[in-house]
Amino acid sequence: MLTPLQIYFPIGAVLLVAFGLGLVMLTLANVLGPRRPSAVKQAPFECGSEPVGSAHERFGVKFYVVALLFIVFDIEAIFLYPWAVLLLPDGQGWAGLGWPGYISMGIFVFTLVAGLVYVWKKGVLDWAD
């Protein structure tokens, strides 16, 4: 009979092997990798032109805010799939969630829609400045 912690041993072993393999590969690349710096390798290749100005200039963060909102809504939308799978009828009524599960997911979706309406009304999703 397995104890509750013995069930997680294979996962721990895989994580340990993955961490060890990553460490070994980084070490070998650092030890065995070529080190021949040259002016050509140090030259900028992005767009083929020399950088102008400082790398510490201020810039708008609107793109990052929209990306963060996308991640938040995308991750929360993932929670809809298992709910929909469990809500499918199994021939004897609902599969276990019943009306409480349906109502709780309705509250969840209402919260998502309210958040989306809020950021839309605040103008976060408008790109034109």
- Dihedral (CA of 55, 57, 63, 66) sign: positive
Q: Of 39-43, 67-71, 109-113, where does mean pLDDT reach its minimum? A: 39-43
Confidence class of residue 90 from pLDDT cuts 50, 70 and 90?
low
Instruction: Please state which of the ranges 51-55, 59-63, 65-69, 89-93 shows the lowest mean pLDDT.
Output: 89-93
4, β-bridge pairs: none
Query: Can you tell me the distance from the alpha carbon of 113 to that of 105, in angstroms, rounded to the nearest whole number?
Result: 12
Check if the beta carbon of residue 96 is closer than 8 Å to that of residue 107. no
Q: Where are the domains of the chain?
A: 6-42, 62-121
Q: In terms of pTM, does the model score above 0.85?
A: no
pLDDT at 5 over 90: no
User: Is residue 95's pLDDT more than 60?
Assistant: no
How confident is the model over 61-87, as pLDDT tens digits?
A: 787 888 888 888 888 888 888 777 776
| CA pair distance 65, 38, nearest whole angstrom | 39
pLDDT tens for each residue of 13-28:
999 999 999 999 999 9
Q: Give the pLDDT score at 38.
A: 85
**DSSP-derived secondary structure for 74-105:** HHHHHTHHHHHHHHSB-SSSBSS-HHHHHHHH
Strand runs labelled E in the chain: none
pLDDT of residue 92: 53
Percent of the chain with pLDDT over 90: 25
- What mean pLDDT, rounded, does the chain reach? 81
